[in-house]
Amino acid sequence: MNIYSPRVIGSQQHVAARNEITEAKLRRLARLRADGPRVLSVYLDLDPERFATPPARASEVDSLLDEASRRIESEKHPHEELEQLRADLERLRGHLQDGGYTEGARAHAVFCCSSLELFEALSLPEPVESRVTVSDSPYIEPLVEIGPPEPWCVALVNRRLARILRGSANNLIEVLSFGDSVHGQHDQGGWSQARYQRSVEHDVDAHLRHTAEVLLRQFERKRFVGLLLAAPEELRLHVAEKLHPYVREQLVGYLVLDVENSTIEDVRSVAAEAIEDHQGAIVRERLEELRARLGRGERAAAGAEDVSRALTERRVGTLLYDRQQPGEDFVEHAVHAALEQDAEVFPVETPDLGPLGGIGALLRF
């Protein structure tokens, strides 16, 4: 989570969409299995378009708790298991009715199993359908679809000013801005004008070097997975050339923004679209690699049977599955198994996986 204070522009305020998913939490939940008593998994939709008021949220909470109670009481459970589920439901009831988790959350997930000493509550940055699941492991597929917040950096740079924003795609915060002294233009002409122009360009060059040094310090302090740069077109290559190789490797694209006058919301909006495009390109690359490997008959699997076998043999490096694929239990099992072996997991919104049975994997060996 970002440790910096936001730069305030005018009276704008931004309530960040909270995303408490982490890779560590996902993998820990994926490895949990209940031996006997079951895990209660609950997702509460907090879509602000539907549940903006406390009464609307309270009604949704009550409906969800009633559904959980019906689910527990209607299914056959051994006595000890039933008593634990009832106790877990009461703990869940106290948590959800407290309501302290709602600020900045678009949804809320809770996983509870007292025999596993499990009570994990996560605020989510996107609405999800309210639902209750009682099974031998936490139901985590909706978490995988959202994913952990990845650390990004956005730099807005012109000839005299630089602004640096950091955070996830839905929670970029301006962490610092600075300007360097750059001489203004003048029109004396002749040798004096030429010397003055060289002085101006020297100042601009120093400003770009300063910006590059700041970005390197930011990267060393806390690495980011991608850098987006907004700069006048004629300045872009000059900025990129000044970046340290470590930082330049993270440069994934350019944004069209007014460096000095764009609001933070302007930057967030344009950056979020660019980040989504970049992430979509990664998925397309994995899909192309999957098709190529299948065509060559090497280190790839497609369809439920082949992917299940590869997961059992712990050979999966990347799992791709169709979000709309029927057979939810199989998908959930596959996601758990993939995370247990530290594989990448990509939910895919494309018909490309249809001919492959809705699921495919790139294999390590």
CATH number, domain at 295?
A: 3.30.1330.30
Which of 99-103, 117-121, 199-203 is least confident?
199-203
Q: Could you tell me if residue 5 is inside a domain?
A: no
pLDDT digits (tens, 9 = 90+) for 227-237: 999 999 999 99
Q: Could you tell me if residue 255 is inside a domain?
A: yes
**Over 80: is that where the pLDDT of 198 sits?**
no
Q: Are residues 165 and 65 in the same domain?
A: no
Amino acid at site 346: F
pLDDT score of 351: 81
Q: Are residues 141 and 204 in the same domain?
A: no
Q: Are residues 202 and 290 in the same domain?
A: no
Do the Cβ atoms of 124 and 106 come closer than 8 Å? yes
Q: What are phi and psi of 297, to 5 degrees?
A: 70, 40
Helix, strand or coil for residue 58?
helix
Average pLDDT over residues 320-343: 88
Q: Could you tell me if residue 3 is inside a domain?
A: no
Which CATH number is 116's domain given?
A: 3.30.960.10
Q: What are phi and psi of 5, to 5 degrees?
A: -90, 140
pLDDT digits (tens, 9 = 90+) for 42-79: 999 999 999 989 999 999 999 999 999 999 999 888 99
The string of DSSP letters for 208-256 reads HHHHHHHHHHHHHHS--SEEEEE--GGGHHHHHHHS-HHHHTTEEEEE-
Q: Are residues 78 and 170 in the same domain?
A: no
**355 falls in which pLDDT band (50, 70, 90)?**
confident
Q: Are residues 248 and 201 in the same domain?
A: yes
**Which residues are paired to 345 by β-bridges?**
319
pLDDT score of 10: 31
**Over 80: is that where the pLDDT of 362 sits?**
yes
**Over 80: is that where the pLDDT of 274 sits?**
yes
pLDDT score of 3: 24
Do the Cβ atoms of 208 and 238 come closer than 8 Å? yes
pLDDT score of 4: 25
Alpha-carbon distance 264 to 342, whole Å?
A: 36
Q: Are residues 300 and 340 in the same domain?
A: yes
Do the Cβ atoms of 123 and 15 come closer than 8 Å? no
Q: Could you tell me if residue 269 is inside a domain?
A: no
Tell me the C-alpha to C-alpha distance, in Å, between residue 349 and each of 204, 212, 287, 353. 45, 37, 12, 9
Percent of the chain with pLDDT over 70: 89
**326 falls in which pLDDT band (50, 70, 90)?**
low
**Which residues are paired to 177 by β-bridges?**
163
**Over 80: is that where the pLDDT of 139 sits?**
yes
Average pLDDT over residues 8-35: 73
Q: Could you tell me if residue 77 is inside a domain?
A: yes
Q: Could you tell me if residue 9 is inside a domain?
A: no
Q: Are residues 72 and 104 in the same domain?
A: yes
**Over 80: is that where the pLDDT of 187 sits?**
no
Q: How many domains is the chain built from?
A: 3
Average pLDDT over residues 171-181: 89
> Tokens at residue 236, please?
């872009």
Which of 262, 295, 325 is the endpoint of a domain?
262
Q: Could you tell me if residue 268 is inside a domain?
A: no
Considering only residues 327 and 314, tell me which one the structure prediction assigns the higher pLDDT: 314
pLDDT score of 327: 65
How far the first Cα of the chain sits from its last, in Å, is: 36
pLDDT score of 337: 95
Q: Are residues 160 and 244 in the same domain?
A: yes
Which of 206, 238, 262 is the endpoint of a domain?
262
Q: Are residues 212 and 141 in the same domain?
A: no
**Over 90: is that where the pLDDT of 200 sits?**
no
**Over 90: is that where the pLDDT of 131 sits?**
yes
**226 falls in which pLDDT band (50, 70, 90)?**
very high
Alpha-carbon distance 312 to 205, whole Å?
A: 56
Which CATH number is 167's domain given?
A: 3.30.420.60
**193 falls in which pLDDT band (50, 70, 90)?**
low
Considering only residues 32 and 152, tell me which one the structure prediction assigns the higher pLDDT: 152
Cβ neighbours for 344, distance < 8 A, ≥ 6 positions apart:
286, 317, 318, 319, 338
**Over 80: is that where the pLDDT of 202 sits?**
yes
Taking Cα atoms as reference points, which of 261, 266, 278 lies closest to residue 227? 278
Q: Are residues 236 and 301 in the same domain?
A: no
Average pLDDT over residues 312-327: 88
Considering only residues 194 and 73, tell me which one the structure prediction assigns the higher pLDDT: 73
Q: Are residues 32 and 136 in the same domain?
A: yes
Do the Cβ atoms of 217 and 178 come closer than 8 Å? no
pLDDT score of 171: 85
> Tokens at residue 92, please?
């869940």
Which of 114, 146, 178 is the endpoint of a domain?
146
**14 falls in which pLDDT band (50, 70, 90)?**
very low
Q: Could you tell me if residue 272 is inside a domain?
A: no
Do the Cβ atoms of 7 and 174 come closer than 8 Å? yes
Percent of the chain with pLDDT over 90: 76
Q: Are residues 166 and 256 in the same domain?
A: yes
Alpha-carbon distance 192 to 186, whole Å?
A: 10
Q: Average per-residue pLDDT in the chain?
A: 88
**Over 50: is that where the pLDDT of 185 sits?**
no
Task: Report the C-alpha dihedral over residues 26, 30, 35, 39, rounded to 10 degrees.
Answer: 50
**207 backbone φψ class: left, alpha, beta (φ>0; ψ -120 to 50):** alpha
The residue segments making up the domain with residue 218 are: 152-262
Alpha-carbon distance 265 to 170, whole Å?
A: 10
